[in-house]
């Protein structure tokens, strides 16, 4: 059929099963928004900032496993969205982001709201397109969704000049995507898998190193089977939280810069690292030359460029984690779990020596207590989003994650302002779960305008603001490494968060005691509206353990011994 380019965008979204688009209109994308007004195949949620539109699409994608979709206009509309693209790129989040562009005749003229969006997005997208002919739109859009959601997922950017959205051309979406230069290798090499399983059988101190690729591959439950069948201890990266249930006896904890003592020592003492969907990020490895230096490495990843990029893989396996793990299970019969009993006891001793804990305070709420308490009260019924900073690490350390896609955060880019819009997307994707956003008094102000989005669309996100009147993580580094020179991190001058929430039409609470917190959380959930719960917490609390940047995992700064809970 002959339709306009703008209509093609709508038809393609419906054909791809898109149910939600997050976006913000403008001049260059107006033709598409006019078609959005006329259709009823999906909902469009107007955010109050383009960065928030992409973060909301990220939250939706991370919680649902589907491709998230955002739409923005040219110029500043696009540049505002770049942070979201970069965040999605480094965290392997499947997105299709459509941007308007000035008409073809104005490209290169420094026209109003013109920017080289394709040049800017090239380093922070999996792929991008500038569409110069409406006849190409069906192919481009179908390829965009295919590329975003297959292989190692990532964001795909489609830039469409305004006159192209007005062109009329033939629309046909009934074809298969065939890209000669893009054919992700999903099936692991059987011989390599057999060699890897033989190495596991011979190892004395093997350790599963579970990464975010497991979540992306929807492989968590297959990984649980493999871990339980072999009874090999496991550590999770920040992005892999929820792969194993928090109460699994074989889960040590999170490892890395703020990982547990037991997890980091296990990685330092292992003789075989079994890395599944992990990329050996610097926040996990610490000093590379000291990382698991007595261990061989099995590395399974869908992205061949990630294998041996930072740590040499003795047993490299390129493939989809889920498919590879299923094959590994077929070869697990000759592995004797009893061989690792002494290794499990060693790790248990590490945990008893320095457990992951915190010191209670009778005078002021500890932020770790708040995270644990939400876990006690809500547990599996909540999805947890976070902003970036100390609250993010405490959430990863102390929340009792029970399932994959329960923890939504900005990992690789570390984007303050991610949490609130992401939590909106999470709630849209999983309406049956309570959407909690743990944030700080610094992060929450970076996309605070999304209160209006949540109020307008009746999206009941509960934002728990752990207020220490500091840029907490930077302050922690200044305390430990800069002789307490608190340069530009004191946030003592802050808005009234209760009144701020109420001004937008939400609800606000300020709490200082455990009883007040319990009452506020219960009331916020019962009222089912967007809420701010400002929790006044200990100002100088540090995230511990901590591996100093560039240090070895086994050289951790630890919590000082006191009476603990």
DSSP code at position 67: P
In sequence order, the β-bridge partners of residue 315 are 298
Report the SS3 class of residue 5: helix
| Nearest by Cα to 453 from 427, 416, 490 | 427
Residue linked to tokens 């480094």:
90
Beta-carbon count within 10 A of 342 CB: 10
Which residues are catalytic, by number? 50, 112-113, 162, 473
Q: Alpha helix locations (H) across 137-212?
A: 137-149, 162-166, 190-202
β-bridge mates for residue 298, sequence order:
274, 315
Cα separation of 68 and 63, whole Å? Answer: 10
If you write DSSP's letter for every residue of 71-102 in order, what string do you get? Answer: EE-STHHHHHHHHHHHHHHHTT--EEEEEEE-
Q: What share of the chain is helix, strand, coil (3-state, %, to 5)?
A: 40, 20, 40
DSSP state of 560: P
Q: Are strands 43-46 and 315-318 parallel, antiparallel or unpaired?
A: unpaired
Largest CA distance in the chain: 74
CA angle (118, 120, 124) in 5-degree steps:
100
Q: Exposure string (b/e) for 399-413, b if CB count within 10 Å is 16 or more?
A: bbbbebbbbbbbbbb
């Amino acid at each position: 059929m002959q339709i306009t380019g703008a209509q093609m965008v709508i038809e393609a979204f419906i054909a791809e099963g898109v149910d939600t688009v997050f976006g913000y209109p403008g001049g260059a994308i107006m033709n598409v928004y006019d078609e959005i007004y006329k259709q009823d195949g999906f909902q469009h949620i107007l955010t109050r900032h383009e960065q928030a539109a992409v973060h909301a699409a990220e939250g939706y994608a991370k919680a649902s496993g589907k491709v998230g979709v955002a739409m923005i206009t040219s110029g500043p509309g696009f540049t505002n969205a770049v942070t979201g693209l970069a965040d999605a790129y480094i965290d392997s989040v499947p997105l299709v982001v459509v941007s308007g562009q000035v008409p073809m005749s104005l490209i290169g003229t420094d026209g109003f709201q013109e920017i080289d969006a394709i040049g800017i997005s090239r380093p922070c997208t999996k792929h991008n397109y500038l569409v110069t002919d409406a006849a190409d739109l069906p192919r481009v859009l179908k390829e965009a969704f295919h590329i975003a959601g297959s292989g190692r997922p990532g964001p795909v950017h489609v830039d469409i000049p305004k006159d192209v959205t007005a062109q009329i051309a033939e629309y046909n979406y009934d074809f298969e995507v065939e890209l000669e230069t893009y054919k992700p290798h999903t099936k692991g090499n059987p011989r390599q898998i057999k060699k890897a399983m033989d190495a596991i059988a011979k190892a004395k101190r093997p350790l599963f190193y579970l990464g975010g690729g497991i979540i992306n591959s929807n492989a968590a439950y297959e990984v649980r089977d493999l871990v339980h069948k072999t009874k090999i201890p496991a550590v999770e990266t920040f992005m892999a939280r929820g792969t194993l249930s928090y109460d699994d006896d074989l889960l040590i904890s999170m490892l890395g810069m703020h990982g547990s003592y037991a997890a980091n020592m296990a990685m330092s003492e292992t003789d075989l690292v079994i890395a599944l969907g992990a990329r050996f990020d610097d926040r996990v490895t610490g000093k590379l030359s000291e990382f698991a230096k007595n261990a061989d490495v099995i590395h399974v990843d869908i992205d061949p460029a990630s294998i041996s990029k930072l740590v040499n893989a003795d047993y490299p396996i390129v493939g989809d984690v889920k498919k590879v793990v299923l094959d590994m299970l077929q070869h697990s019969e000759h592995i004797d779990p009893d061989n690792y009993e002494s290794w499990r006891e060693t790790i248990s001793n590490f945990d008893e020596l320095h457990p992951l804990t915190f010191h209670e305070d009778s005078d002021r709420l500890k932020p770790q207590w708040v995270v644990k308490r939400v876990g006690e009260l809500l547990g599996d019924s909540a999805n947890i989003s976070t902003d970036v900073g100390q609250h993010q690490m405490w959430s990863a350390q102390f929340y009792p994650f029970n399932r994959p896609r329960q923890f939504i955060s900005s990992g690789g880019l570390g984007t303050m302002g991610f949490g609130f819009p992401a939590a909106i997307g999470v709630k849209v994707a999983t309406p049956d779960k309570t959407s909690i956003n743990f944030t700080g008094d610094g992060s929450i102000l970076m996309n605070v305008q999304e209160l209006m989005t949540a109020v307008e669309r009746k999206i009941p996100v509960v934002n728990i603001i752990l207020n220490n009147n500091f840029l907490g993580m930077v302050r922690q580094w200044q305390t430990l490494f800069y002789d307490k020179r608190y340069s530009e991190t004191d946030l003592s001058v802050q808005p009234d968060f209760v009144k701020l929430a109420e001004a937008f039409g939400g609800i606000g609470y300020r709490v200082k005691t455990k009883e007040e917190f319990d009452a506020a959380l219960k009331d916020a959930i019962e009222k089912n509206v967007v809420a701010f719960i400002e929790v006044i917490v200990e100002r100088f609390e540090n995230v511990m353990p901590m591996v100093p940047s560039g240090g070895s995992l086994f050289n951790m700064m630890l919590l000082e011994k006191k009476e603990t809970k």
